[in-house]
Amino acid sequence: MSILAVNKLTKSFGGLTAVSNVSMELNHGELVGLIGPNGAGKTTVFNMLTGIYVPSSGDITLSLRGKNIRLNGKKPNKICKEGVARTFQNIRLFKDLTVLDNVRISMHKNIRYGLLHGMFHSKLHSVEEKKLLDKSVELLSILKLDHKKDELAKNLPYGEQRHLEIVRALATEPSLLLLDEPAAGMNPAETAKLTEIIGWIRKNFDLTILLIEHDMSVVMRICERIYVLDYGIVIAEGSPDEIKANERVIKAYLGEDMRNA
Amino acid sequence: MKKLTEIKGIKKFVALLLTFVIVQLLLSFNILNDYIMATIATICINIILAVSLNLITGFTGQFSLGHAGFMSIGAYTCAIIIMRYPSLPGFIIGLFLGAILAALLGFVVGLPTLRLRGDYLAIATLGLAEIIRIIFLNLEITNGAAGLFIEVQYTNWLWLFIFTAGTVILITNFINSSHGRACISIREDEIAAEAMGINTTKYKVVAFVFGAFCAGIAGALYSSYFYYIKPDLFGFLKSIDILVIVVLGGLGSISGSILAAFVLAVISSLLQSFPEVRMVIYSVLLIVIMLFRPQGIMGSKELSLSMFNKLGSIGSIFGRRNGGGR
């Protein structure tokens, strides 16, 4: 069952076409990789999927709970409300806020009290805030960040900042999770652990995941299908083994020595 | 845990009540003269202005230079109504009407201009305040450049206290609610906030309108305390004055704004006796404070009881040392 259908998506900046006629399809519960050399347009695709860029042409359709929702042209916060969450390649945490606040802000869209309740700290406010706190701590404990909830996000070690980005995305209660290079800058041990975590959250949160990654060990191990992007065009699609064997991919991206890998 | 917050709440309430009662007693026994009372009124009005601007600039991260404009709307609305209906209900109605009009204008202007970022927004809000000033300068009902003279003084310590404490408490509560955190997330990273489902436009406008509302209240209190208002009082310089308090106290610190409003008023009234060099010393002090504490007196932290405990323990160490020396 398809959850996300991308049809002939194109984005041009002035004369430069960053992404051209990209079509993709994600099925419910799948873990799909999106790879390609630097500047291939992967993050641009993500930015269009999450509403940060408006596509020049093409369609993005999200199918959830039997409804088809056209995402292009919607604002990022609306898209988030529909159930699409993301992390950022260059970490974009709320650096000067605590770990707990980072997560609580992501849960704001489901808050059930109005502005006046907030100003007068009504009964409803304290009840809801208590729920919010419990839920945040529970989410943080999944990635073992709960004992650091009162630390400022900027003071976390790099690896934990990446983890916090994932928790923050999960806090928006997504159906589709977009991970933009979650393993960037991590050492092999951290990467292995992250790979495990991604598999675990997919199962336990019933997620569909689209993953951009440079680290081939991650992509080849956990992705069920892979799309390869080069110069804004999808040049190949298939299982990791098919991608490894694809001549065009090898030429464009993986390099000659991957044949022996 | 619950008991602890309850005790804290009671402590705060008692502290507020004590402040009110003490000043009220001093006033009724004529220990505080009119000059000191005027300084107190200035401090209260500046606290309302600074805390509400801090909500817009310090917490939501929207650089506004138009706060005096919103203040003037409150001031003129209240003044005009008091002159028609010189009574306490007239004052209260004028005050709230002024605040509501300021908030409405904040909404109408905020919706299109809050798309602008940083310095562009500053210029736009600056322009807004100037337009308001020029309008008041040319209207008949506001008596143009000559200004309005309000014969009765309704603002007294009671009203000043109620509205100052009210503003501070409401804004602090707001900041500590989920809606307030949504505002803060805009300051931290607007793109990330949007991607996490925060309607950034909505919360920028909310902060702007709430801030404008409070500025309107401050203006109304001003006009009925100081008897006289004219458009020039609410010019560019007034907006800058408020911004100075906010920056000096610390962007994103409510207690910082309160402290700075207090400190600046005290400094400027102590310097009254040296009229020639007053502004020079004032400016030098500002420069020195900014050089040594560029993040403001409080940074983005809040003054708390535990802080006093820490200070107390440092003090006791010094005390013991002195005792040992003897």
> Could you report the predicted ipTM of this complex, rounded to two decimals?
0.90
- pLDDT for B243 beyond 60: yes
> CB–CB of A111 and B173 under 8 A?
no
Q: How far is B173 from chain A (nearest CA, A)?
A: 5
Please report, rounded to a whole number, the percentage of residues in chain B having pLDDT higher than 90: 59
Is the predicted pLDDT of residue B72 greater than 80, yes or no? yes
Per CB-CB distance under 8 Å, the chain B contacts of A125 are 177
Query: Considering the entire predicted model, what is its pTM?
Result: 0.89
Q: How far is CA B168 from CA B104, B148, B171, B211, B307, in A?
A: 21, 29, 5, 11, 20
Listed as ranges, residues in chain A with pLDDT below 70 are: 253-261
Q: Is A106 on the interface with B (CB under 8 A)?
A: yes
Is residue A85 within 8 Å of residue A56, measured between CB atoms?
no
Predicted local confidence at residue B317, as pLDDT: 54
Contacts of B193 in chain A (CB under 8 A): 94, 105
Q: Which residue has the tokens 């022996």?
A: A260
Residues of A in contact with B192 (CB under 8 A): 88, 92-94
User: Are the Cβ atoms of B199 and A101 closer than 8 angstroms?
Assistant: no
pLDDT of residue B89: 93
- From residue A182, alpha-carbon distances to A81, A86, B95, B171, B265 in Å are 22, 10, 54, 38, 52
In this complex, do A109 and B181 lie within 8 Å of one another by their Cβ atoms? no
SS3 content of chain A, % helix, strand, coil (to 5): 45, 25, 30
Q: Would you say B244 and B289 are in contact if contact means Cβ atoms under 8 Å apart?
A: no
Size of interface A-B (CB pairs under 8 A): 102
pLDDT beyond 90 at B324:
no
Q: What is the mean pLDDT of chain B?
A: 88
Verify whether the Cβ–Cβ distance B173 to A121 is below 8 Å. Answer: yes
Task: Identify whether the C-beta of residue B48 lies closer than 8 Å to the C-beta of residue B221.
Answer: yes
What CA–CA distance (Å, rounded) separates B289 from B273?
22
Specify the higher pLDDT residue, B219 or B316. Answer: B219
CB atoms B194 and A88 under 8 Å = no
Site of tokens 């009119």: B34
**CB-based contact B189 A94, cutoff 8 Å:** yes
Contacts of B157 (CB under 8 A, 6+ apart): B20, B23, B24, B27, B37, B40
B192-210 pLDDT tens trace: 999 999 999 999 999 999 9
Q: What is the mean pLDDT of residues B162-169?
A: 94
**Alpha-carbon span B49 to B215, nearest angstrom:** 5
**Looking at residue B307, what is its pLDDT?**
67
Asked if the Cβ–Cβ distance from B185 to A104 is below 8 Å, we say no
Mean pLDDT over B6-25 rounds to 84
Flag whether pLDDT at B325 surpasses 70: no
At B304, list the tokens. 């708390």
Amino acid (one-letter) located at A47:
N
Amino acid letter for position A139 = L
pLDDT score, position B321: 47
- Residue A254 CA to its chain's centroid (Å): 23
The pLDDT, as a whole number, for residue B278 is 79
The separation between CA B323 and the C-alpha centre of its own chain, rounded to angstroms, equals 43
Residue length of chain B: 326
Are B178 and A136 contacting, i.e. CB atoms less than 8 angstroms apart?
no
DSSP secondary structure, A156-211, as one string: S-HHHHHHHHHHHHHTT--SEEEEESTTTT--HHHHHHHHHHHHHHHHHTT-EEEE
